[in-house]
Amino acid sequence: MSERVEVLGQLGVMMDSGLPLSVGLRTLAEETGKPALRRSFVEMSSRLDAGRPLDDVVREFGNAMPDWLLQMIRSGTESGTLTRSVAHYVQFTRLRNRLRGRVLTALAYPFILLAVLGAISVGLFGYLLPQFKQIFEGFGVELPAVTLVLIQLSDFTLFFLTNAVVTVPVALLIVLGGSVAFRAIVGPATTRRVVYEIPLLGRALKLTGLSEFCHLLALLIENRVPLPRALSLVGSAMRDPCLSQCADDAAHFVERGESLAAAQARLPNLPVELLRIPGWDQPDESLPQALRASGEIFASQCDVNARAMAGAATPVVILLIGALAIITVGGLFMPLIKLLNDLS
């Protein structure tokens, strides 16, 4: 994967130096996750190699591309910066894939550890504790509160496992139905803001979205797309519903002739990280460079958060396993100690 990323980075530099546009489009096809868009890039590259005019190719495939990408190609064609724009888009795709891969990798490790914790818990409550329950019933001694709680958890685990054909689908339905209902009630943007509050994970997701937001907006502004239109196009392209809504609100705000530099009081949901970026009053001059630099900073911060998330998972899960072991051992042996004391 690292070799592939390095190749993409070198390709962006070569395209910026005059490499044919068709090569960049074919590379974008390799990096694009959507099959329809991938096919469109390959066809566009082939027709450009065959000598077809770029305007004709863009018209033929306009309906197959997102609005922001179509606008970037058209404005880049008019301003003569299309090759450079495609090179920047290659680098943007490279960065986006790296960030998402980093977050997914950081999430995979905690999930593996939690799966181990779940397997240990099932073994304790589904196999070990039921055997001790029979022993305790044979003794006929009064059980401590901790032991009674453990036995109740064991009964619940046995019931869940015994009736897994019914209980597992019902549990999944409750979880999925609850999340869908919550999203429908409060809205996708508010749901994402709640996710932002999750320690480490929420911050990593937010930084990933902010980095994509900055690079994409810089790409459009460099192609002389007006700021309100560029913000609107970014809003339609963002997968993060919170940032998508913020981009739409900012587009309407700027369209009324107001500056985003003083929008914090008027747009409370707009991330303060974006408002700190200098150059909002000069969208055609310093803003693209400031956005791209901020996007790189957000990407670096996302890497740090992803590493911290993966590093924090190990001690947290070990503490949970240790606490579970201590509580279980204590709950099991307290009745035995009491019985020995009574017999003596």
pLDDT, tens only, 186-244:
888 888 888 888 888 888 889 888 988 998 888 888 878 888 888 888 888 888 899 89
pLDDT attached to residue 53: 76
pLDDT attached to residue 78: 65
Structure tokens at 96: 């986006």
Q: What is the dihedral of CA 128, 133, 134, 135, to 10 degrees?
A: 90
Structure tokens at 291: 């956005």
Strand, coil or helix: 269? coil
CA pair distance 281, 136, nearest whole angstrom: 75
CA pair distance 1, 102, nearest whole angstrom: 12
Distance of CA 268 to the CA centre of its chain: 23
pLDDT attached to residue 318: 81
pLDDT attached to residue 111: 81
Q: Where are the domains of the chain?
A: 2-97, 105-188+309-343, 201-306
Fold of 2-97: Receptor-associated Protein (1.20.81)
pLDDT, tens only, 110-153:
788 788 888 888 888 888 888 888 877 777 667 788 888 888 88
Is residue 207 within 8 Å of 300, Cβ to Cβ?
no
pLDDT attached to residue 190: 87
Please list the ranges in the chain whose pLDDT falls under 70: 1-21, 24, 28, 31-33, 62, 64-66, 74, 76-87, 90, 140-141, 261-265, 282-285, 342-344
Tokens 């869940």 sit on residue: 160
Of 246, 244, 242, nearest to 191 by C-alpha is: 242
pLDDT attached to residue 22: 73
pLDDT attached to residue 2: 37
Is residue 310 within 8 Å of 109, Cβ to Cβ?
yes
Is residue 249 within 8 Å of 240, Cβ to Cβ?
no
pLDDT attached to residue 343: 65
Neighbours of 7 (CB within 10 A): 13
pTM reported for the whole predicted model = 0.70
